[in-house]
Amino acid sequence: MSTTFHTEPQGAGLGQRLNWLRAGVLGANDGIVSVAAVAVGVAGATTDLGPIITASSAALVGGAISMALGEYVSVSSQRDTERALIEKEKRELAEMPEQELAELAELYREKGLSEETALKVAEELTAHDALGAHLDIELGIDPDDLTSPWQAALSSAIAFTLGALLPFLAIVLPPAEWRVPTTFVAVLIALALTGTISARLGGAGKRRAVTRLVVGGALALAVTWALGLLLGTSVA
């Protein structure tokens, strides 16, 4: 009789995938709100479709580039720091292996192992992969799983663009009198959905996350629409 054990996926790979998914949701949310705010702001000032398309397109393209650039810089800085820490750990292992072994054993003792067991674990891990053992318990770094800045930038730009397409289409496709109401409804539904997803990923309460996004998004749209209406009336 055989027994099959079903285990949940573990390791840095899972955490990184969840972080990517969470970043994608947040990027899409940024695209939804920022482009919708520009679109309804211009729609409040004019019913002409040309300026609305121009402003919304500029917000979409500029926002996607900004998100990609920000993510690239952020991840590049993080990766440079991780690489510097890896090189530092390599030097320490080469120059003072005994002190590093004692440090590794101490870290496992702090995790709750007995002194004898901690030393044995440290010795076995050092014999197998000293650098990997130190990077894992000291710094939480997997040298084979460093994030790519280009991948991060591309993912961020795609997420923002996909989110931004919703308000863009909602403001462009309906007749003039339905543009702003349609955009409001579409955006609030999308924000409720992204709030639900982000809450589930983070293990937080769904109601609070959805309320924050929906109320914040509604406020942003209302303010920009009112400002556009005011400026449009003043110019006229």
Please write the tens of the pLDDT for every residue from 153-180. Answer: 888 899 999 999 999 999 999 998 899 9
> What are the pLDDT digits (tens) for 35-79?
999 999 999 888 899 999 999 999 999 999 998 898 889 888 888
Residue at 4 is within a domain: no
Residue at 233 is within a domain: no
pLDDT (0 to 100) of residue 89: 84
Distance CA 150, CA 65 (A): 13
Backbone phi, then psi, for 85, in 5-degree steps? -65, -40
Q: Is the pLDDT of residue 15 over 80?
A: no
Residue at 214 is within a domain: yes
Start-end of H helices in the chain: 12-45, 49-95, 97-110, 115-134, 149-172, 179-202, 206-235
Residue at 36 is within a domain: yes
Number of structural domains the chain divides into: 1
Q: Residue 124 sits in which domain range?
A: 20-228
In one-letter notation, the amino acid at residue 215 is V
pLDDT (0 to 100) of residue 17: 59
Residue at 236 is within a domain: no
pLDDT tier, 139 (very low <50, low <70, confident <90, very high otherwise): confident
Distance CA 165, CA 31 (A): 8
pTM of the entire structure?
0.74
> What are the pLDDT digits (tens) for 73-118?
988 888 888 888 888 888 988 888 888 888 888 888 888 888 888 8
Distance CA 101, CA 147 (A): 28
Residue at 122 is within a domain: yes
pLDDT (0 to 100) of residue 8: 39
Residue at 10 is within a domain: no
The chain-wide mean pLDDT, for the chain, equals 82
Residue at 205 is within a domain: yes
Q: Alpha carbon of 98 to those of 51, 94, 122, 170, 223: distances in Å?
A: 69, 10, 11, 65, 64
- Contact at 8 Å (CB) between 157 and 65? yes
- Contact at 8 Å (CB) between 86 and 135? yes
